[in-house]
Structure 1
């Protein structure tokens, strides 16, 4: 009976921590996969895995990093399983089929989401964990299993590439990764000249 009394507060605290982190998990998952429904599924799977493994969590350690690592691993497992399947995302299709009016000074969230999806997975992941998720470099290193220097370099490259993708072809691309430079050159060549 003593064991159940001492275990109950731990389960209650664990439940409270899970409930508090769900919005962050959903946001991280959405950034990783770019699909709202899949993101919700990933977040739910991560919560279920964490709940099943709650006895392996050490209270007092970084709960956020532990949960993000579970979600990240779930994302990559899902992607590996579905690597041969194609998915239909009606929102993405609509964004591709409908041309938006040119934006001069405003950046819309959909522009940022589209640009994020064009980044290499490692850079996108770091931008989401550190930039959007508010994790420290140390937490990001723990979540991804990378060295802190790797976290910093992926984050820096991701920021440069994201800015270049959002701001358009007229900006300086000197610091842009070669793959993105080539992608932008092709995109710029395929656009009609301005004013004609």
Structure 2
């Protein structure tokens, strides 16, 4: 599967290759916006910009990274615009009730998602790209427009924050942690 993905990463901008990345774009958009409706809008805006600027895509370069970069820049531009045009916070017409999906994540999955959602944005976006979406450090650095060392540092710190917050809340435990919890502290002799 990874070989197939790498073969498609460097390629031409076509409908098939662009459609192939929509699930990953949705996942990244959801991690940025924290809202399903806003995430869908962000994916739509990203694809629209990609279509409008298809002449700027260089065949043979990384299509996935190009799409993620467009998405990230669109997200930040939208945030800046919203901060300038802030509506009243009560009785806002844009607030719509949503219905949650029929399928439920497991309790542990919800805890992990909640912890990841509370990471500071620079850590959250690198964590999502590298850990959850499987982007390389190099691609993530290109998408986030930072050095590779910064990406590695952010991912490492994000992992540590996730583990620390899950430990503090008594959340998801690894096999080693659950074994230690079952046996308790060793008696000293």
Task: State the TM-score, normalized to the length of structure 1.
Answer: 0.68
Match of 2:174 in 1: none
Match of 1:156 in 2: 156
CA distance in 1, matches of 2:95, 2:166: 25
Once the two structures are TM-superposed, the CA of residue 113 in structure 1 deviates from its matched residue by 2.2
**Which contiguous aligned blocks of 4+ residues in structure 1 show a shift greater than 2 angstroms?**
83-91, 106-110, 166-171
Is the Cα contact below 8 Å between 1:43 and 1:71 reproduced in 2? yes
Matches within 5 A, 1:83-162: 83=83, 84-85=86-87, 88=95, 107-162=107-162
Please, which runs of 5 or more residues in structure 1 have no aligned partner? 1-11, 95-105, 172-196
Q: Secondary structure at the match of 1:108?
A: helix
CA distance in 1, matches of 2:157, 2:166: 14
Task: State the TM-score, normalized to the length of structure 2.
Answer: 0.71
CA distance in 1, matches of 2:42, 2:114: 20
Describe the shift of the 1:109–1:82 C-alpha distance in structure 2 as closer, same or farther (beyond 3 A): farther
Once the two structures are TM-superposed, the CA of residue 59 in structure 1 deviates from its matched residue by 1.0
CA distance in 2, matches of 1:137, 1:82: 30
Q: Secondary structure at the match of 1:126?
A: helix
Per-residue CA distance 1:84-106 (angstroms, 9 max, x = gap): 35575857xx9xxxxxxxxxxx7
Once the two structures are TM-superposed, the CA of residue 134 in structure 1 deviates from its matched residue by 0.7
Match of 1:165 in 2: 165
Matches within 5 A, 1:40-79: 40-79=40-79
Match of 2:180 in 1: none
Q: Secondary structure at the match of 1:135?
A: coil
Is the Cα contact below 8 Å between 1:65 and 1:142 reproduced in 2? yes
Q: Secondary structure at the match of 2:26?
A: helix
- State the aligned residue count: 147
Once the two structures are TM-superposed, the CA of residue 13 in structure 1 deviates from its matched residue by 5.3
When the two chains are superposed, the root-mean-square deviation of aligned CA atoms in Å is 2.3
CA distance in 2, matches of 1:163, 1:34: 21
Once the two structures are TM-superposed, the CA of residue 43 in structure 1 deviates from its matched residue by 0.5
